[in-house]
Chain A
Amino acid sequence: ETGVTQTPRHLVMGMTNKKSLKCEQHLGHNAMYWYKQSAKKPLELMFVYSLEERVENNSVPSRFSPECPNSSHLFLHLHTLQPEDSALYLCASSQGLGLQGSQFFGPGTRLTVL
């Protein structure tokens, strides 16, 4: 247990559905991240939140919409996704950004878009 939980662990959705991924950290960290991991590709950073403000958005399509209501929770709202969005979505948290912020990862949500 890393102190970062994600729900659901598995999600299958159609292209017209709307769903949300949830991440919660119990570590008192002030930065949270969403990553996408596709098969045989490196981890891709999607969004970074620091002190509940989005500080990085790595050219992610608008069909992915993050929300950080407080420092312990991070959501990723999904709508009209494409089959190529099927991947493992990982949440992470850290205390601070940069070198002092070792990231703790959640178990991930395995998303399949039909």
Chain B
Amino acid sequence: KNEVEQSPQNLTAQEGEFITINCSYSVGISALHWLQQHPGGGIVSLFMLSSGKKKHGRLIATINIQEKHSSLHITASHPRDSAVYICAVRSSLGSGDKLTFGTGTRLAVRP
């Protein structure tokens, strides 16, 4: 079992729909990242959060530290949102920080 689990693995939505992607983790963390990977492979960092909620445009990320759970929401989804969304958690080790990645959620938004 991965330390970082994402659900769903695949998601198809109609343009305009509200989308939620979930991330659960089993280790203590100092921060959680949401990343977006486009079909060409490039990865963009969307959010880094350690508590509460952050919003950027149509994207909202929330985290519940007690429940070890984070969600990424997309409002008014658009075909250009089609990508793989990756959750990554940062945890502290004796020798430094470690980033552990989920397997990603593949989102397809149809016009």
Q: Which residues of A come within 8 Å of B, CB atoms?
A: 2, 37, 40-43, 45, 55, 88, 90, 92, 97-99, 102-108, 110
Contacts and interface: CB of A to CB of B under 8 A. Distances in A.
B48 A106 contact: no
Quick one: which of B33, B90, B99, B100 has the most chain A CB within 10 A?
Answer: B99
A45 B100 CA distance: 9
Interface in B32-78: 33, 35, 40-45, 48
B59 to A, nearest CB: 16
Nearest to B31: A99
**What interface size band does chain B fall in?**
20 to 34
B37 to A, nearest CB: 8
B102 A42 contact: yes
Given A45-B99, A99-B97, A102-B48, A108 B30 contact: no
Contacts of B40: 107-108
Majority secondary structure of chain B interface residues (helix, strand, loop or mixed): strand
B83 interface: no
Contact of A2 (B4, B44, B88, B101): B44
Given A43-B101, A99-B90, A90 B43 contact: yes
A6 to B, nearest CB: 9
Interface of B: 2, 4, 30-31, 33, 35, 40-45, 48, 86, 88, 90, 96-97, 99-104
Contacts of B102: 42
A103 B86 CA distance: 14
Given A42-B102, A99-B30, A99-B31, A88 B41 contact: yes
A37 B35 CA distance: 14
Contacts of B4: 42
